Amino acid sequence: MPATIVQSNDTPFSRVDVDPITLDIVENALRNARAEMDAVLFRTAMSPGIREQHDAFPMIANQEGKMVVGQFGSFLYGFIQGYEGTIEDGDVFLTNDPYSVGGAVSHLNDWLIMMPIFHDGRLVSWAAMFGHMTDVGGKVPGSLPTDAKMIYEEGTIVPPTKIYRKGALQHEILNILLANCRMPEWNKSDFFAIIAGCRLAERRVRENIARFGADTYISAMWDMLDRNKLAMGAIIQMIVPDGADGTKATFHDWIDDDGMGNGPYKIACSLHREGDVAIFDFSDSDPQSLSSINFLLNEEMFKMFFGAFTINLVDPQILFNDGFYDLVEVRIPEGCILKPKKPAALSCRTHMLGRIFDLMGGLLGQGAPDALNAAGFSDSPHFMYSGFGRDGEWYQLFQIGFGGVPGRPAGDGPDGHSMWPAFTNVPNEFLEAYFPLRIRTYATIPDSGGAGKHRGGNGITIAYELLEKGEISIHDDRWLTYPWGVNGGQPGMRSTKRLVRKDGTEENIPSKCDRIAVEPGDVLHFNTWGGGGWGDPLERDPETVLLDVKRGLVTVNGARRYGVMIRDGRVDVSATDELRKEIARDRGPDLPLFDRGFDSLDEIKARAKRETGFEPPADPVFHRFMRAAE
């Protein structure tokens, strides 16, 4: 039974014609309001994950909960349909429970605020925002245990709850939540920063209504949604194969391991069109994992991924919103790794979330290979460091790292960059000022990006010198498989983690681990993966390769992957011509559409110990109530 919306004014809104100038003004006012929400948040939050890295996502929706401006797509319709209670003026809702909102937030660290906006007694809009809290309790600092088997091990679960009731903060509820985390001051500050961002959106919505009237404002939002649907409908017709004759595009990839010695885990998707509707089917993905790498993929969120990917490829000026959602159907079987059954653990879902972008890149471009991009988002590496300092105070760092962005039809992939456009690195000066560590190295890793006509972005190496006794946790992937290249482009380099102890001894650190004890003077070398290359490396301009060498992005030896010989700081033209002819002759005329760097999982597992220093993961064993993918 859907929620009951309490309104003192039951007058229905009228759909009116909105002239193009007014529509443009309302659209840009909402875009600016969304940007202001971010600005308020980043200026008032305390945690580096939100304040510095911008791990938070605002949204403004219409009265039915459809996102008009935002990034992650709307979860509000599902909330409205599933919440068994009233929605009144002055209420503000808080939740972090993925299972209560169908994966709209995907792990407990994300606190989601939902605020209905009323005007003259009627619900006119929604403002919402969620942000990653550094800690929400659970068995390890940071609340992201790699070995959790149930969500109850990952922190305090908050079902959809009125944290403000008719304008009054429910202090007791907030105090309970703050009492169950290791960084209560950060959580409190971040919470009120998110509230402030939503209040700002509320003010801007009311200003728009005061200027244009409620009917015009509501109608303008519907016009923006309709316009997006029209644009996406045309795009879907262009890029999605008609399945009437059984034609489907298919693609798959893997998560290397689950942090408990098992893997890889397959995610697979097929794509076809039935009339005007694009059908994404994940039925061939593996069942859910026993560990926390499961990703409860919200269908509306995936539609957002698809829409953002395609709109930015075709016309970035189109306003991205929820208008096209009924043109996309997402089929995810219950019990698979993308729709696990409660109480499956979810805290390390970032690996699967990142791999969804790689999967989509390989899936959507198959009908038009020139539009393919290589693999590279792949993951969202996490580094955590915590303990008690010499002053007896608790310190706790949560930091997101970046790898190489894939090579693209438009050019090279950026080095050490996030695919989320708003994400930024935490400044080294900030880290050194607020945490007991020193950044000894922060640099690109030469040759880590896959060679191609358009080079894959390089990964990043960060050397953390740890100044206090404590513990570290690491979350990453792509240590076994490679970010693949496309159209003849080569794969990117794997990720590695190496801990050099103060006494000089060294040890390789797994990509997923918790509670690694460290002492003052230990140095962690955190190396991320590179992006896959795009296109034939032999087609890259030798002078561009020389410039890459001069910039430290490619080594002289690495230039040979492009068939380029560099001597005395210059391209040796004749030697380059000979080398390119030799490479072309040896490899043959047929270049692979996808180059994964291996032919089968058995092969890559057989190479694992020799190439990575780690034993290969064991084949996953699934629960008896789960069905393995055929």
pLDDT in tens, 105-151: 899 999 999 999 999 999 999 999 999 999 999 999 999 999 999 99
Which has the closest alpha carbon to 65: 329, 280, 300? 300
pLDDT in tens, 430-478: 999 999 999 999 999 999 999 999 999 999 999 999 999 999 999 999 9
List all residues 6 or more positions away from 577 whose beta carbon is below 8 Å from its beta carbon: none
More confident residue, 146 or 247: 146
Which has the closest alpha carbon to 479: 400, 561, 403? 403
Beta carbons within 10 angstroms of residue 560's beta carbon? 18
Residue 17 pLDDT more than 60? yes
Q: How many CA atoms lie within 13 A of 287 on its CB side?
A: 15
pLDDT at 624: 53
- 3-class SS string, 263-320: CCEEEEEEEEEECCEEEEECCCCCECCCCCCCCCCCHHHHHHHHHHHHHHHHCCCCCC
154 token code pair:
């990952």
pLDDT at 318: 76
Residue 404 pLDDT more than 60? yes
- Assess contact for 510 and 616: CB atoms under 8 A: no
Under the banding of pLDDT at 50, 70 and 90, the label for residue 61 is very high
pLDDT at 285: 97
Under the banding of pLDDT at 50, 70 and 90, the label for residue 1 is low
Say how far residue 366 (Cα) sits from the centre of its chain.
Answer: 23
Say how far residue 567 (Cα) sits from the centre of its chain.
Answer: 42
Rounded to an integer, the average pLDDT of 216-234 is 95
pLDDT at 339: 96
What percentage of residues in the chain have a pLDDT greater than 90?
A: 83
Please spell the DSSP secondary structure of 463-514, one letter per residue: EEEE-SSEEEEEE---SSS---EETTPPPPPPPEEEEE-TTS-EEE--SEEE
- Assess contact for 270 and 284: CB atoms under 8 A: yes
466 token code pair:
């740890």
Under the banding of pLDDT at 50, 70 and 90, the label for residue 421 is low
354 token code pair:
């990142």
202 token code pair:
């509320």
Under the banding of pLDDT at 50, 70 and 90, the label for residue 185 is very high
List all residues 6 or more positions away from 202 whose beta carbon is below 8 Å from its beta carbon: 115, 117, 125, 127
Under the banding of pLDDT at 50, 70 and 90, the label for residue 380 is confident
Under the banding of pLDDT at 50, 70 and 90, the label for residue 403 is very high
What percentage of residues in the chain have a pLDDT greater than 70?
A: 97
Rounded to an integer, the average pLDDT of 564-588 is 96
pLDDT at 97: 94
Which has the closest alpha carbon to 202: 111, 114, 126, 130? 126
Residue 382 pLDDT more than 50? yes
pLDDT in tens, 87-107: 999 999 999 999 988 888 899
